[in-house]
């Protein structure tokens, strides 16, 4: 009713709606988060993820300016005496201007919008950051932002504000991606040529998102050039890429297809030892999209992605894994004020392992499939008020593991029980600019989760020795048909408030509760591709997190040359799952018996300073944080730091155009070492001498700090090609990934400590990028 | 598998491993009990030693010579273990007086007033069929040579566990990565129950793929029945001693079934387990 009253008040003087899309004039690509500013009301709107804006204005004449970084602003006069549809085509700034702006929004948005804890990175920026082996990488780039860390090279996934890697919802055109890495984390699964926009939300998460505790990484693909056929690609040391895009029907339908394939195994062959000559380790990904503008009110998009990693010794042993997604979306404008998007998607993550010796073979396959339908509707009541509502249903089919063994002429198949889950959500939220100083965004998301079992179900009691022994199996059930065995309901309130101190600075506060109904079960240092996604069920509760944040945002300089923010957050997590010592997580029919519940907390301070104008651009981010957990039976029941806890995290990125054809960039990162568990003593048993910690502690030590500098230089030959040179880990620091212990090789009576570094030297590379 | 992943990362990106000097916290000494016993009439030993700091030489673990060791059955038979030398307490069974399948036993140790105890039933052994060998040419991950296969099967019924010990030319293969064990006929409760042991146990665990057998070698495989808890104990030893690299598991103390009668007293380490044992031996010729 409140909404209605406000709408009525604002609508009392006759007002009309100006709406439309903002596009890139060279290829027709919709521009996300472009600003449409109305001088007369000192206010405006941002285009949504489909490039759409809607402004409700009273009768009169207005000066509208549309802006997007890297493009010439466009100003028009509009007379509002009826509802109007107006599209804006922006022209990119000429090549003569080598100033590269580092953000994609109007400079003061960081101060004015209620959004906090959000970082949007433009693809242009991502491509400038010096990359490992010359391969531009999305995930590696977001690790340079405050609050985002990783346990090191070779660790797939990333940690946001002290959250585990499974707590990030990674969306590719709205479909979730379960493993964002190729090759154990060295490269991400996203082909940067096909990506249009990347947004990372770390806190104050709006009600339309849900399902993971710590962050949303929203990746949007390009739609495809509406005007002419063109392509681009690159040849590098590790892989090559090619992208083709163009109109199917000029200005009405377009497509984009992009692929990448690695060939490092072919190149490395001559250097491999004899027994690995047939080894293969390669990966590829294919991204495709088609879109069709049906009419002024309707547009359809179909996107698909397939990626795969193949790893094997060539004949005797191998494993492979990959994501597959397909999304169908329909944008519908009911009227100039109401924008709707309907999405249907399919997402699958599967992995398999196989081994053979002589006549015997062993094959293992595991898979998670999501089928989902989602609806989002936004009504732009007026420039100060809009509201959104919608819902989503996800049906998930888990095949936790099926093995087939062939030995002595027999074939034995065995599988863990399949699981089916249904996750439903409904949300309602609004954005309300109360006055010149205060803006708010409130929302409520209600979620419901149903777990179905069919083949078999285990019920457990307690463990005789919590932390060491599995829980006792009390009974088994065999439902035989899909039966609902557990239901959960949760309410997730979301709120953000912004208070402007003056035109240049503001204070923002936010609160969100997030609930996550599935987890990645892993007890290794770095997540391996065979880690299992496990849903909540009759034994495992959904995990919940409450996060509060407070931040101060300030711009400096006439043209908002510097952007500054200081944010602090506190996150409390419940029902976290940990594993008893020695738990075997692979193909374990009694997995729930090995799990122990715990709680967690994470808190920190994030400092961020960015330079937007002038020749030298870049940013510094520094995070001081703590992420820890408390689990009964581990570390004597006291809080201990998480495996990915890093107290200090400093990132510096600099970009400088040396001349018209040469540009240099550099980055430096420093972070505290990760925690580790070290023994104090050892004992002998039957010829073995296992390590022992007399105090039974977990993560009682910290390994050495991590720091690294990378540099890169880009030489633009002409409009159609460039060479990129880079050196990763310039001063060749052997950053320790972990420390482990083993018997000495020449004296098995003595132990030694070994420091394992993933990268032991500097890694130079050259790549060539072209456009046609 | 882990070694292949390791190798790939080393090849790909010049990762490296360096020996480093590290100072560890000071712990305290604990009694270690090594009591792996069987139902045979051969000499049964309980070995008592003390733990030492992690970087000390493991051969310097102090022997505990002043203990009183008894094993008592649930039918009140006492099997006395007497001190011989160097921490070893020995008992010589006879056909009439030995560990018996249907009884349960309790180990009692008194060291200068500190009392430790542990319980074990007698775990049955798997059913042997035969131990064979065959010549194989070189493959992707195995050198050319003779490879043995252990043909044996699990006793039906969930919860039977076994430890397979390999002796090549009378030397026990004591590498932690070589620990060969089975839970039923797989590696989890109820897995392949009642079936023959598959590749990882029957071939993987009885051969060294880098150094296969040669003609003239003697191979003995001992199968010993163990408890499920001892199965996890072996699993933990293997994990803790071969931990490392990109996919290391978090270090943790291995379990024990020895407890101090005084709950506030210092805990002991090690294990007390009894099982039937049956061995097969072949000479390659």
- Work out the minimum CA distance from B65 to partner chain A, whole angstroms: 16
A382 close contact with B: CB closer than 8 A: no
The residue-averaged pLDDT of A59-78 equals 90
Evaluate whether A538 touches A552 at the Cβ level (below 8 Å).
no
Query: Of A523, A684, A690, which is closest to B61 when you measure between CB atoms?
Result: A684
B149 close contact with A: CB closer than 8 A: no
Across chain A, mean pLDDT equals: 86
The residue-averaged pLDDT of A523-551 equals 82
Using CA atoms of B96, B100, B102, B104 in order, give the dihedral in degrees to the nearest 10: 120
Evaluate whether A739 touches A683 at the Cβ level (below 8 Å).
no
Record: contact B17-A755, CB cut-off 8 A: yes
**Residue A421's beta-bridge partner residues?**
A396, A451
- Cα gap A141→A122, rounded to integer Å: 11
Span A625-634, pLDDT tens digits: 999 999 988 8
Answer with the residue of higher pLDDT: A112 or A487.
A487
Span A494-515, pLDDT tens digits: 999 999 998 889 999 999 999 9
Answer with the residue of higher pLDDT: A112 or B96.
B96
| Beta carbons within 8 Å of A187's beta carbon, 6+ residues apart | A132, A135, A137, A181, A238, A283
pLDDT in the model for residue B6: 46
Record: contact B15-A758, CB cut-off 8 A: yes
* pLDDT band for position A358 (cuts 50, 70, 90): low
* pLDDT band for position A680 (cuts 50, 70, 90): very high
What's the pTM?
0.83
Record: contact A525-B248, CB cut-off 8 A: yes
The residue-averaged pLDDT of A424-451 equals 94
Of A137-151, A407-421, B102-116, where does the model show the most confidence? B102-116
| Beta carbons within 8 Å of A123's beta carbon, 6+ residues apart | A192, A195, A196, A197, A198
Record: contact A407-B202, CB cut-off 8 A: yes
Evaluate whether B92 touches B244 at the Cβ level (below 8 Å).
no
**Residue A446's beta-bridge partner residues?**
A426, A491
pLDDT in the model for residue A28: 86
A321 close contact with B: CB closer than 8 A: no
pLDDT in the model for residue B11: 46
* pLDDT band for position A150 (cuts 50, 70, 90): confident
The residue-averaged pLDDT of A642-663 equals 92
B23 close contact with A: CB closer than 8 A: no
Residue A133 has pLDDT above 80, yes or no: no
pLDDT in the model for residue A9: 47
Record: contact B32-A684, CB cut-off 8 A: yes
* pLDDT band for position B58 (cuts 50, 70, 90): very high
Residue A107 has pLDDT above 50, yes or no: no
Span A240-286, pLDDT tens digits: 999 999 999 988 999 999 999 988 777 666 666 666 666 777 889 99
A763 close contact with B: CB closer than 8 A: yes
Residue A127: how many other CB atoms lie within 10 Å: 18
Contact residues on chain A for B199, CB-CB shorter than 8 A:
357, 360, 362, 405, 407
pLDDT in the model for residue A104: 37
Using CA atoms of A156, A159, A165, A170 in order, give the dihedral in degrees to the nearest 10: -90
Q: Which residue has the tokens 């396959």?
A: A365
pLDDT in the model for residue A368: 92
pLDDT in the model for residue A275: 60
User: What one-character DSSP code corresponds to residue B177?
Assistant: G
Q: Strand ranges (DSSP E) for chain B?
A: 16-20, 31-38, 44-50, 52-53, 67-73, 78-85, 88-91, 104-111, 114-123, 127-136, 145-153, 161-168, 171-172, 180-183, 218-226, 259-260, 269-275, 277-283
Span B190-200, pLDDT tens digits: 888 999 998 88
- Work out the minimum CA distance from A370 to partner chain B, whole angstroms: 28
Span A701-725, pLDDT tens digits: 898 999 999 999 999 998 899 999 9
Residue A43 has pLDDT above 50, yes or no: yes
pLDDT in the model for residue A137: 84
Record: contact A523-B235, CB cut-off 8 A: no
Q: What percent of chain A has pLDDT over 70?
A: 90
- Work out the minimum CA distance from A44 to partner chain B, whole angstroms: 50
Query: Of A407, A412, A754, which is closest to B244 when you measure between CB atoms?
Result: A754
Q: A678's torsion region: left (phi>0), alpha (psi -120 to 50) or beta?
A: beta
Find residues 28-67 of chain B whose CB sits inside 8 Å of chain A.
Answer: 28-30, 32, 34, 36, 49-59, 61
The residue-averaged pLDDT of A55-79 equals 90
pLDDT in the model for residue A105: 43
Record: contact A754-B5, CB cut-off 8 A: no
* pLDDT band for position A586 (cuts 50, 70, 90): low
Residue B1 has pLDDT above 50, yes or no: no
Smallest CA–CA distance from A318 into chain B, residue: B1
The residue-averaged pLDDT of A476-480 equals 86
- Cα gap A686→B213, rounded to integer Å: 24
Q: What percent of chain A has pLDDT over 90?
A: 47
Report the first-to-last Cα separation within chain B, whole angstroms.
33
pLDDT in the model for residue A114: 62
Contact residues on chain B for A761, CB-CB shorter than 8 A:
14
Record: contact A694-B30, CB cut-off 8 A: yes
């Amino acid at each position: 009713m409140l909404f209605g009253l406000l709408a009525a008040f604002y609508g009392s003087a006759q007002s009309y709606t100006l709406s439309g899309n903002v596009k890139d004039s060279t290829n027709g690509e919709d521009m996300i988060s472009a600003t449409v500013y109305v001088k007369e009301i000192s206010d405006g709107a941002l285009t949504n993820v489909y490039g759409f804006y809607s402004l409700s204005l009273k009768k009169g004449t207005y000066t509208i300016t549309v802006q997007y970084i890297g493009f010439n602003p466009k100003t028009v006069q509009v007379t509002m005496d009826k509802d109007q549809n107006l599209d804006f085509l922006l022209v990119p700034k000429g090549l003569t201007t080598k100033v590269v702006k580092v953000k994609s929004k109007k400079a003061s948005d960081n101060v004015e919008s209620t959004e906090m804890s959000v970082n949007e990175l433009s693809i242009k920026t991502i491509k400038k950051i010096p990359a490992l082996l010359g391969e531009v990488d999305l995930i590696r780039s977001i690790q340079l932002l405050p609050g985002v860390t990783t346990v090191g090279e070779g660790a797939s996934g990333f940690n946001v504000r002290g959250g585990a890697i499974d707590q990030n919802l990674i969306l590719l055109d709205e479909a979730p991606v379960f493993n964002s890495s190729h090759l154990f984390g060295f490269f991400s699964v996203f082909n940067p040529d096909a990506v249009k926009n990347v947004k990372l939300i770390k806190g104050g998460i709006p009600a339309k998102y849900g399902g993971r505790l710590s962050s949303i990484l929203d990746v949007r693909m390009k739609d495809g050039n509406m005007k002419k056929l063109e392509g681009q690609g690159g040849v590098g040391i590790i892989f090559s890429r090619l992208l083709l895009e163009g109109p199917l029907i000029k200005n009405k339908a377009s497509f984009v297809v992009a692929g990448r394939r690695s060939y490092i195994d072919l190149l490395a062959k001559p250097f491999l030892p004899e027994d690995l000559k047939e080894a293969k380790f390669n990966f590829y990904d294919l991204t495709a999209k088609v879109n069709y503008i049906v009419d002024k009110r309707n547009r359809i998009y179909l996107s698909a992605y397939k990626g795969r990693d193949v790893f094997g010794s060539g004949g005797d042993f191998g494993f492979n894994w990959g994501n597959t997604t397909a999304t169908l979306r329909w944008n519908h404008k009911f009227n100039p004020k109401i924008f709707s998007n309907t999405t249907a998607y399919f997402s699958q993550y599967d992995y398999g392992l196989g081994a053979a010796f002589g006549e015997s073979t062993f094959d293992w396959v595991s898979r998670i499939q999501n089928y989902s339908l989602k609806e989002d509707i936004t009504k732009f009541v007026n420039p100060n008020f809009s509201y959104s509502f919608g819902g989503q249903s996800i049906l998930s089919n888990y095949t936790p593991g099926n093995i087939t063994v062939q030995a002595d002429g027999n074939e034995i198949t065995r599988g863990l029980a399949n699981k089916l889950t249904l996750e439903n959500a409904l949300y309602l939220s609004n954005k309300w600019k109360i006055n010149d100083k205060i803006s708010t965004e409130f929302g409520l998301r209600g979620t419901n989760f149903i777990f179905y079992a069919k083949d078999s179900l285990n019920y457990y009691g307690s463990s005789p020795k919590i932390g060491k022994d599995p829980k006792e199996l009390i009974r088994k059930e065999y439902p035989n048909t899909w039966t609902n065995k557990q239901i959960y309901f949760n309410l997730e309130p979301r709120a953000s408030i912004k208070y402007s101190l003056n035109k240049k600075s503001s204070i923002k506060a936010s609160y969100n509760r997030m609930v996550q109904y599935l987890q990645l079960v892993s007890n290794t240092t770095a997540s391996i591709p065979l880690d299992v996604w496990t849903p909540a069920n009759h034994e495992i509760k959904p995990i919940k997190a409450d996060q509060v944040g407070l931040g101060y945002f300030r711009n400096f300089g006439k043209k908002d040359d510097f952007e500054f923010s200081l944010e602090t957050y506190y996150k409390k997590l419940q029902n976290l799952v940990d594993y008893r010592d020695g738990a075997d997580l692979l193909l374990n029919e009694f997995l729930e018996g090995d799990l122990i519940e715990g709680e967690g907390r994470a808190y920190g301070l994030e400092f961020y300073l960015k330079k937007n104008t002038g020749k030298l651009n870049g940013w510094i981010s520094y995070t001081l944080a703590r992420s820890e957990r408390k689990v009964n039976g581990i570390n004597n029941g006291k809080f201990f730091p998480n495996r990915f806890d890093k107290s200090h995290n400093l990132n510096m990125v600099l970009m400088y155009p040396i001349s018209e054809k040469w540009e240099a960039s550099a980055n430096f990162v420093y972070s505290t070492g990760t925690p580790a568990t070290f023994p104090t003593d050892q004992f002998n048993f039957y010829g073995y001498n296992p390590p022992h910690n007399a105090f039974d502690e977990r993560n009682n030590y910290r390994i050495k700090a991590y720091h690294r500098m990378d540099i890169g230089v880009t030489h633009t030959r002409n409009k159609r090609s460039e060479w990129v040179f880079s050196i990763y880990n310039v001063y060749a620091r052997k950053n320790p990934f972990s420390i482990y212990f083993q018997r000495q090789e020449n004296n098995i009576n003595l132990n030694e400590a070994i420091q394992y570094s993933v990268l032991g030297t500097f890694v130079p590379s050259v790549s060539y990028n072209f456009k046609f | 598998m882990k070694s292949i992943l390791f190798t790939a990362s080393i090849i790909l990106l010049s990762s490296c491993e360096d020996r480093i000097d590290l100072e560890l916290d000071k712990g305290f000494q604990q009694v270690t009990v090594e009591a792996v016993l069987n139902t045979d009439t051969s000499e049964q030993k309980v070995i008592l030693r003390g733990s030492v700091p992690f970087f000390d030489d493991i051969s310097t673990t102090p022997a505990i010579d002043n203990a009183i060791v008894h094993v008592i059955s649930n039918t009140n038979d006492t099997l006395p273990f007497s001190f011989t030398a160097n921490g070893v307490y020995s008992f010589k069974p006879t056909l009439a007086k030995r560990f018996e399948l249907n009884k349960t036993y309790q180990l009692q140790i008194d060291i200068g007033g500190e009392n430790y105890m542990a319980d074990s039933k007698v775990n049955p052994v798997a059913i042997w069929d035969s131990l064979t060998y065959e010549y194989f040419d070189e493959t992707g991950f195995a050198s050319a040579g003779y490879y043995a296969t252990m043909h044996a099967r699990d006793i039906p019924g969930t919860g039977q566990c076994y430890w397979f010990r390999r002796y090549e030319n009378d030397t026990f293969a004591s590498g932690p990565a070589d620990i060969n064990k089975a839970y039923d006929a797989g590696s989890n409760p109820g897995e392949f129950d009642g079936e023959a042991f598959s590749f990882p146990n029957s071939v993987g665990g009885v051969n060294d793929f880098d150094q296969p057998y040669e003609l003239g070698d003697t191979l003995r495989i001992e199968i010993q029945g163990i408890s499920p808890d001892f199965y996890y104990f072996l699993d933990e030893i293997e994990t803790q001693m071969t931990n490392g690299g990109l996919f290391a598991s978090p270090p943790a103390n291995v379990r024990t079934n020895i407890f101090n009668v005084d709950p506030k007293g210092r805990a002991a380490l090690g294990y007390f387990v009894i099982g039937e044992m049956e061995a097969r031996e072949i000479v390659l010729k």
